[in-house]
Amino acid sequence: MIHFIRQIIRTGLKRKGVTLVAAYLTLLIVSSLLIQIVEPPDSALTRFDQALWWSVVTSTTVGYGDLFPTSNPGKIVAVILPMFMGIGLGAAFITYVASSLIERRDKKMHGEKKFDGSHHILIVGITDETGQLIEEIQRDETYIRHALVIVAERDRHPFPEAENLFFVKGRPDAAATLTKASIKTADRIIIHTGNDEQSLFALINALKLKNDACEITVRCLNSQSLDTFSSVPGEFQTIMQMTAEMMVQAMQDKVHLPLQVLLRNDARDEIYYVLVPQTKNIMNWWELHTYLKKAYNFLTFAMQTSDSRVIINPDAGQMISGGDGLWLMAQKRPLHIDWPYMDKTPK
């Protein structure tokens, strides 16, 4: 009997608990059916639902005492099945579940587990500013529902206390590591390894593996490396060294303006970039500038035409049309703008 239980436990552990669950459920059903057969007709255990309840509480050592066998054959069934075999199987199953949970958490903390999610932001590499970068991304309303996945060559999760942040261990410039981080289903990729050469290889692999809609922002530390990054075929945004706040804005706005490096306001206002929706109507710069200031307290100061021409402090009569971009200062990201030319004329 002991040898039989040991064999079940060993087999169950090898098959990740499937055999344990099957054996335990079989034991409950068999003991419930047997106790129904051997118990006298006036016993409550002749009902299957009561017999099953009795098998469960007996095998788990709960033992409420509300139901128990009254006949000698019933007591023999109780000793052999739910008591002797049930306790062993129950303990083995509980041990397996506990060890599996611990192992799962340990793999997650050591970055050994593959990330199976989608629509996430993939952070490739880690530097001294990564913690602040993560905080800025999670603070941005645009990314509030996005999971973050960080790829780094570390032994343990670099930010174990951070919420909704997953860690994948491996070389950030290796294709296998990026695949493990589910790069094919990512919405955004930020590459900032702290080393331009490693970031370059990570960029090349990311461009090969990402989906068409995924956008890449790569951080360049040395201005001499800009030509090398620019020679890489594919769509991505290269930005020079900047603060974490500016990097998140550049990633979101998809356009990096040197003013974001040179011009910083106080803690209340930040610089954002918005696109004017497509429309057949056009208006001049001053009309739109005045409207946005009056309606939202946004301060516009530069624009980019649809042919990528940047104009800082445009003339009042400069015409604005759909597809043009605006740089403005605001206290929070302008997510919802009631554009005046849609149904009304700006005043």
User: 3-state SS of 291-326?
Assistant: HHHHHHCCEEEEEECCCCCEEECCCCCCEECCCCEE
Same domain, 127 and 198: yes
Q: Looking at residue 346, what is its pLDDT?
A: 45
**Other beta carbons less than 10 A from residue 246's beta carbon:** 19
Q: In what helix (H) or strand (E) does residue 270 lie, and over which residues does it extend?
A: strand 270-275
Give the CA radius of gyration of the chain.
32
| Higher pLDDT among residues 93 and 328, named by residue | 328
Q: Looking at residue 260, what is its pLDDT?
A: 41
Same domain, 103 and 133: no
Tell me the backbone φ, ψ of residue 209, rounded to 5 degrees. Answer: -100, -25
What CATH number does the domain containing 81 carry?
1.10.287.70
Same domain, 228 and 150: yes
What single string gives the DSSP state of each residue in 145-204?
Answer: T--EEEEES-SS-S-TT-TTEEEEES-TT-HHHHHHTTGGG-SEEEE--S-HHHHHHHHH
Percent of the chain with pLDDT over 90: 31
Determine the structural domain holding residue 188 and report its residue range.
Answer: 121-256
- Look at residue 1 and tell me whether its pLDDT is greater than 90: no
- Band of pLDDT at residue 180, cut at 50, 70 and 90: very high
Residue 16, classed as helix, strand or coil, is coil
Same domain, 305 and 281: yes
Task: Tell me 83's DSSP state.
Answer: I
Closest among 213, 158, 163 to 189, alpha carbons compared:
213
Q: Identify whether 318 is part of a domain.
A: yes
**325-330 and 319-320 as β-strands: parallel, antiparallel, unpaired?**
unpaired
pLDDT tens by residue, 207-260: 999 999 999 999 888 877 888 988 999 989 888 755 555 566 666 665 544 444
Percent of the chain with pLDDT over 70: 82
pLDDT tens by residue, 16-27: 567 777 777 888
